[in-house]
Homo-oligomer: A and B are copies of this chain.
Amino acid sequence: MSRTTQGAPAAAAPHPGGPGDAPGPGEARAAFRAGSTSPTSGWAPGYTQVNLISVPRDWAYDVLLFCQRNPRPCPVLDVTDPGGTSTVLAPDADLRTDLPAYRVWEDGELAAEPGEVTDRWRDDLVTFLIGCSFTFEWALADAGVPLRHLEQERNVSMYVTDRQCRPAGQMHGPMVVSMRPVPEELLGTAARVTGRMPAVHGAPVHSGDPARIGIADLGAPDFGDAVDLLPGDVPVFWACGVTPQAAVMASRPPFAITHAPGRMFVTDVRDEQYLVA
C-alpha cells in the first residue's frame, strides 16, 4: 500500500478541541489505514492521541517499569496482552495498520519506516500506549495560549536532553522533551493548565534557556520541525512520549516497533478524561 500526505483535512487546525466539521477518531484512523502518512496534530480534535511502542514479551517488564519510574515522559495509558492488536482506548482499531507511519527497530537501529506493520507483527509483542502532549493543547488554546506550531503548520519540535531517565533493568536513556513557544506573560497559565493533566505529561519540566537541559540549537530539533518563536515568546519544554523511543535507541532491544514521531495513534477517548480537578 502506498502512502501519501493527501487527506489531511485538519492538520493545521488552530484550535484543537474546538467545534467544526473535522473528522472523528474513526475517520482519522480509516484515512491512515487507507494510506495517509500525515502528522496527526490537529486531527480528530478533542480525542486523545497516544505514543506507541511494541517490544517482545521478555522486554515488557523493563519497559513497563521504565515507564513507572519516569511517569512525566512515559505516562502509560494502556498495555496489551502479548500479541494483542487492539486496545481498550479504541476497541475497533487495529494497532498494526491504523497509524500514519511506524518505525521498526532492530538492535536499537532504525530498520524501516513503513505505513503498516501487519507483516512484521509477532505473537510475543506487547504494545504500550503512552500519553501525548497533543492532549493538553486544547486546554492551552482554551486558556488563550497560542500554539505556534499549528499557526505555522508544522509538527511540534522535540529534543533529546542531557537529563537521564531513571533506568529499569535493561532500559535506559535520556529524557526527550517537546517545545512550545509561550508568550512570557502566559507562562504561569501554561504551567497551571497542563499541571492539571498529569496523565499526559503534566506541567513543563523547564522554561527558558535551552542549554540548561542540554539543547544546543532550538533550530535543529531531534524530531519534528523547527518552530519559530515570536517576539516575547519563551521556549517551554514538556516531557515527551518519544522518550521510550530514545530509550530503545540507547538500550538496543533486539526488536521493537514504534509510531513515527508526530504520527500518533488516535484513540476514542476524549481529552477531558485526562483532566484532574
Task: Give A residues with C-beta under 8 Å from B.
Answer: 60-61, 64-65, 68-69, 76, 79, 81, 169, 192, 195-196, 198, 276-277
Residues of B close to A61: CB separation below 8 A? 60-61, 64
Complex CA distance for A216 and B192, rounded to whole angstroms: 43
Indicate which residue in B64, B195, B277 contacts A192 across the interface (CB closer than 8 Å).
B277
Indicate which residue in B68, B81, B198 contacts A64 across the interface (CB closer than 8 Å).
B68
The answer to whether A68 touches B76, judged by C-beta atoms less than 8 angstroms apart, is yes
Residues of B close to A68: CB separation below 8 A? 64, 68, 76, 79
Give the dominant DSSP class at A's interface. helix
The answer to whether B277 touches A196, judged by C-beta atoms less than 8 angstroms apart, is yes
- Closest chain-B Cβ to A208's Cβ sits at a distance in Å of 23
Residues of B close to A192: CB separation below 8 A? 277
The answer to whether A198 touches B276, judged by C-beta atoms less than 8 angstroms apart, is yes
Complex CA distance for A104 and B60, rounded to whole angstroms: 28
12 examples of A-B residue contacts, CB within 8 angstroms: A61-B61, A61-B64, A64-B64, A64-B65, A64-B68, A65-B79, A68-B76, A195-B277, A198-B198, A276-B276, A276-B277, A277-B277
**Residue in chain B with minimal CB distance to A60:** B61
**Residue in chain B with minimal CB distance to A195:** B277
**Residue in chain B with minimal CB distance to A64:** B64
Residues of B close to A169: CB separation below 8 A? 81
Most buried by B among A79, A195, A196, A276: A276
Complex CA distance for A69 and B81, rounded to whole angstroms: 11
**Residue in chain B with minimal CB distance to A193:** B277
- Closest chain-B Cβ to A126's Cβ sits at a distance in Å of 9
The answer to whether A69 touches B79, judged by C-beta atoms less than 8 angstroms apart, is yes
- Closest chain-B Cβ to A197's Cβ sits at a distance in Å of 9
Residues of B close to A64: CB separation below 8 A? 61, 64-65, 68
- Closest chain-B Cβ to A120's Cβ sits at a distance in Å of 24
Q: A68-B76, A192-B277 are in contact. List 6 more A-B contacts (CB 8 A).
A: A60-B61, A64-B64, A64-B68, A68-B68, A196-B276, A198-B198
- Closest chain-B Cβ to A50's Cβ sits at a distance in Å of 14
